[in-house]
Structure 1
């Protein structure tokens, strides 16, 4: 099995020019925990914003400035400093046996799948591996 067999292609992405309020709303409304960040200039994948990072930043803002100031602070905080920009990228033909080891060794929640031009094609999450495991267990 390869990455293409389990990757999600129904992606929810965000612009690298977006603010934290945009990301917070998008994650909340679309029910996602990982937002691929796409460059406004060339459409390439430039980062990943995780739910964990977003929540920790929001909680820090609430603690520091109070809940009443949260909306304003989120609108003034760009996502570029918060996104992970140094991350492993996958190709669709990567064998899952290798990818799962990378997930385990690095305790990752997701890995983006990109084409040769750096544009996102999909995403593989730890949940995708849990679903695969459930399917394999049911077939025994």
Structure 2
């Protein structure tokens, strides 16, 4: 099996020109925990924002500035200052046996899937592996 067999191709991405407030709103309204960040200039993948990282940033702001200033601080915090810029990505044809080991060893929640031009094709999450596990277990029954 390959990455393309389990990846989600309906990916919600966010622009690198967005704010933390934009990302927070997008995660809440679309029900996603991972946002690939793409360049406004050429649409290539430039970072990843996880729900965990976003919440940590919001909590830091809340503790430092208080509830009254939180919305303003979120609005003026560029996503580029919060996103992970040092991240791994996958290609659609990578074997799942390699990818699952990478997930386990690095305790990751997601890996974006890109083409040769670094355009986002999809995303693989730990939930995708759980769904695969369910399918395989049902087949054994």
Give the whole-Å Cα distance in 1 for the aligned partners of 2:108 and 2:74. Answer: 26
Aligned mates of 1:7, 1:115 — CA distance in 2: 13
Which residue in 2 is equivalent to 1:48?
48
User: Residue 81 of structure 1: CA displacement?
Assistant: 1.4
Matched, 1:14 2:5: no
Match of 1:63 in 2: 63
Give me the TM-score of the superposition, normalised by structure 2: 0.98
Structure 1 segments unaligned to the other structure (5+ residues): none
Partner of 2:100: 100
Counterpart Cα distance in 2 of 1:104 and 1:40: 32
Q: Deviations over 1:67-109 (max 9, x none)?
A: 1111101001001011111111111110000100000010000
RMSD: 0.6
Match of 2:26 in 1: 26
- 1:73 to 2:73 alignment: yes
Partner of 1:89: 89
What's the secondary structure of 1:104's corresponding residue? Answer: helix
Alignment partners' CA distance in 1, 2:7 and 2:123: 5
Separation (CA, whole Å) in 2 of partners of 1:94 and 1:46: 20
Cα distance in 2, alignment partners of residues 77 and 92 from structure 1: 33
The 4+ residue runs of structure 1 with deviation greater than 2 A are none
Secondary structure at the counterpart of residue 84 of structure 1: coil
- The TM-score, its normalising length taken from structure 1, stands at 0.98
Match of 2:132, SS?
helix
Structure 1 residue aligned with 2:118: 118
